[in-house]
Chain A
Amino acid sequence: MSYCKQEGKDRIIFVTKEDHETPSNAELIADDPDDPYEEQGLILPSGEINWNCPCLGGMASGPCGSQFKEAFSCFHYSKEEVKGSECIEQFRSMQECMQRYPDLYPQEEDKENSSQAESGSAAADGSGLLSESDSAIEVSPDSMLPTDSQTPS
């Protein structure tokens, strides 16, 4: 059972695991997914890509930002059966750009891009694509904050 004490204006409660096992009756206000003030995830409520998503790291803002945006937009809006299959050109030009900046985009992406090119559907949505590039590209999707990536936005 919990016990508590008061030290001046500060209250201290000690709780056991059992004390906290019963579900909380604290009421939280329901979130509005379309709240314009909130930080948006990768895909905006309108269906557009949020280029400013922290999850993208520096991909959309670096020297190859425009190539990246074109490639990814093409993929995102692709209606082909094999999603993104018509976007080979854009991905190639993105890869060419990235090869010019090896310390920004470490060259592990050869295997990443080949898997993208052949399947064209890295995942049903774009986030799968990004998690691949996330792991391959070390520096660019750097979190400015150590816990950035842990905070779902």
Chain B
Amino acid sequence: LNNARTPLCVPVAHMSTGPVGGGGDNLKYALLVGAAFVGGITYAVITIRGDQERHMERMAEISSRKQKSATKQPATQLHAEPHAAESTKMEAPPEPKPVVPPSPEDSSPPAEVTAPGAETASPSESAEPPAADSKPASPTLPSHAPYLLIGGGTASFAAARSIRARDPGAKVLIVTDEADLPYMRPPLSKELWFSDDPSVTETLRFKQWNGKERSIYFQPPSFYIDPEDLNSAENGGVAVLTSRKVVHMDVRGNKVKLDDDTEISYDKCLIATGGVPRNLQVIERAGEEVMKRTTLFRKIEDFKSLDKVSRNMKSITIIGGGFLGSELACALGRRSSESELEVIQMFPEKGNMGKVLPEYLSNWTTENVKKEGVKVITEALVKTVSYKDDKLEIKLKDGRLVKTDHIVAAVGLEPNVDLAKSAGLEVDSDFGGYRVNAELQARSNIWVAGDAACFYDIRLGRRRVEHHDHAVVSGRLAGENMTGASKPYWHQSMFWSDLGPDVGYEAIGIVDSSLPTVGVFAKATAKDTPKAATEESGTGIRSESETEDTASIAVASTTPAPPVEHKDKYGKGVIFYLRDKVVVGIILWNVFNRMPIARKIIKDGEEHADLNEVAKLFNIHED
């Protein structure tokens, strides 16, 4: 039996010298694993070393490239140019060329900086020679801003100022897709057009109420610091990054991405992206020749181009009868008196400011706009626009045809909510814009202010306001809340409009012509115009005695008889807008310096039995 088994038991391979067969296998395993381990480590070390070498090469290449581009374009400071509109606009075309090649490289250094999780911007920045004048490469930009403000308009500037006032040494970074530093918009459709200075399109300076001249820019360039200096600035400061758009927002990661793939993280963020002018569909569909001759008016460059058009063209048509359209019509109308320019204004309503003013006042305003030299076409719905024989032909739905050289479309603003999707922020379906609470907050660490904010007004309800003072008030409030205040929107913002020297008004609250109104008027004297208010002229009080004549006639009859038809029927007064018997809006018509009283009445939110008594508080008969 033993003999038979022996040949089968012969071991095939005995590699180990261990006592039992299992021990030999263990050693095999141990050697295999050991070899694999050593091989793996060796591979890893080689790869990482290779990467490091490549990284150092790339960094060296980028810095050498920066040196080259720095010598090619010495004045590449995008944001520090005083009249950035001109110079940076011309630089903007050459900019993309050096920017595009480094961008694949640019994405890796920041990624490698953020990968280890250390938010120290300094390593990547100090690796670069402190090239103060070269901009294209993003590694010099801060990768973190404690306060990041998206948008560089009025609301953003107001917030920056508020933050700096309340948080000593705050570092604020404004990112704007415009080439200009923050500026105020109202003069673009008003004061700048009335300036006597022929170089006003360059200087952008205008005269204020008090006679003092100022620039439309909130602050000169020396107020701001360079974005690269932001992190190292001892007392902090406000830096503006121009011509960069924020394209993506990561709310969970508290960071944003720009259109050149730069990532910037933040502690607190403000979205103040404002809006984009709406266009008429008929114009968009009308083709390039028409689009080329259409201005959507909002920015400095639009003002400059429209000024040029007004000097070279024979006929301009403004489509839109609201604030912007009417102001531009009056401004251009005034110009038409000195030149051959024909100014036409057309809109669907029955009169200028038809959605704001009660009908009788809207009609009166329209007459005044016509006096400024504007051909006003009311109840005009545009059907088609075409380009024929070097003219634009606007055909209206009722068949009327208007021929003109240039169109200005002032048909509203589309709030910019591009970031809503990536950020996961709510957009309001009634008013448009980002939906925020009474404290202007959208989410933790994110606030919205200005034209883009649909907020809850404790007194007047949810609304969205597109006026300058609201941008200031909401921007300031957002800045306060970003620095820990937790205050709701409470100080009611106001707005104003001047339509030529004889019609000027200030308004506050909800001023919607569909609401019932009560208007209390006095006869206007020559003193009661915006022009007079500024000039303090003392021309004759011609209408006062006429007021009394008219009034005594009216008393004699029991039924209200129409007064003697004076053209100054609605010279000055106060108009109350009511909602459920409570005053929610007030217009001060050619009556100035009384806004605090109006604000108080709205704040109280009381039902007043006799609004004439309330009107007495305004002393409308006095200056």
Contact, CB under 8 Å: B604 / A29:
yes
User: B16 at interface (Cβ–Cβ under 8 A)?
Assistant: no
Closest Cβ of chain A to B196, distance in Å, is 19
Contact, CB under 8 Å: A139 / B214:
yes
Write the chain A residue with the least CB distance to B603.
Answer: A29
- Provide the A47-64 mask, 1 if CB < 8 A to any CB of B, else 0: 000011010101011110
Contact, CB under 8 Å: B359 / A8:
yes
Given known contacts A25-B613, A52-B480, A69-B168, is B161 in contact with A4 (CB within 8 Å)?
no
Closest Cβ of chain A to B344, distance in Å, is 28
Contact, CB under 8 Å: B490 / A58:
no
Which chain B residues lie closer than 8 Å to A150 at the CB level? Answer: 593, 595
* Most central of B469, B563, B600, B611 by chain A CB within 10 Å: B469
- Provide the B215-233 mask, 1 if CB < 8 A to any CB of A, else 0: 0001110110100000000
Closest Cβ of chain B to A37, distance in Å, is 4
Which chain B residues lie closer than 8 Å to A124 at the CB level? Answer: none
Whole-angstrom CA separation of A17 from B496 in the bound complex:
26
Partner of B164, one of A25, A61, A147, A152: A61
Closest Cβ of chain A to B102, distance in Å, is 32
Closest Cβ of chain B to A102, distance in Å, is 8
User: B57 at interface (Cβ–Cβ under 8 A)?
Assistant: no
Contact, CB under 8 Å: A10 / B223:
no
What is the count of residue pairs linking A and B with beta-carbon distances less than 8 angstroms? Answer: 187
Contact, CB under 8 Å: A65 / B600:
no
Which chain A residues lie closer than 8 Å to B523 at the CB level? Answer: 14
- Provide the B584-623 mask, 1 if CB < 8 A to any CB of A, else 0: 0000000001011000110010101011111111011100
Given known contacts A37-B488, A66-B169, A103-B220, is B520 in contact with A13 (CB within 8 Å)?
yes
Interface size of B as a range: 35 or more
Closest Cβ of chain B to A114, distance in Å, is 24
Write the chain B residue with the least CB distance to A7.
Answer: B360
Interface of A is mostly: loop
User: B449 at interface (Cβ–Cβ under 8 A)?
Assistant: no
Chain A residues 19 to 65 lying within 8 A of chain B, measured CB to CB, are 19-20, 22-29, 31, 36-39, 51-52, 54, 56, 58, 60-63, 65
Whole-angstrom CA separation of A58 from B547 in the bound complex:
47
Which chain A residues lie closer than 8 Å to B222 at the CB level? Answer: 63, 101, 103-104
User: B425 at interface (Cβ–Cβ under 8 A)?
Assistant: no
Contact, CB under 8 Å: A51 / B165:
yes
Contact, CB under 8 Å: A12 / B158:
no
Which chain B residues lie closer than 8 Å to A101 at the CB level? Answer: 222-223
Which chain B residues lie closer than 8 Å to A123 at the CB level? Answer: none
Binding site for B on A (CB under 8 A): 1-5, 7-17, 19-20, 22-29, 31, 36-39, 51-52, 54, 56, 58, 60-63, 65-66, 69, 101, 103-104, 138-140, 142, 144-153
25 contacts between A and B (CB under 8 A): A1-B551, A2-B551, A5-B560, A7-B358, A10-B518, A10-B519, A12-B521, A13-B521, A14-B551, A14-B563, A15-B521, A16-B547, A16-B548, A17-B621, A20-B522, A20-B615, A26-B608, A62-B164, A65-B164, A104-B219, A144-B158, A144-B472, A147-B209, A147-B506, A149-B210
Q: Besides the contacts A9-B517, A52-B476, what 17 more A-B pairs have beta carbons closer than 8 Å?
A: A2-B551, A10-B519, A13-B520, A14-B521, A15-B620, A20-B615, A24-B616, A28-B600, A36-B487, A37-B488, A52-B165, A58-B161, A60-B165, A61-B162, A62-B164, A104-B220, A146-B209
| Nearest 6 interchain pairs by C-beta | A61-B164, A24-B616, A3-B554, A51-B165, A37-B490, A10-B358
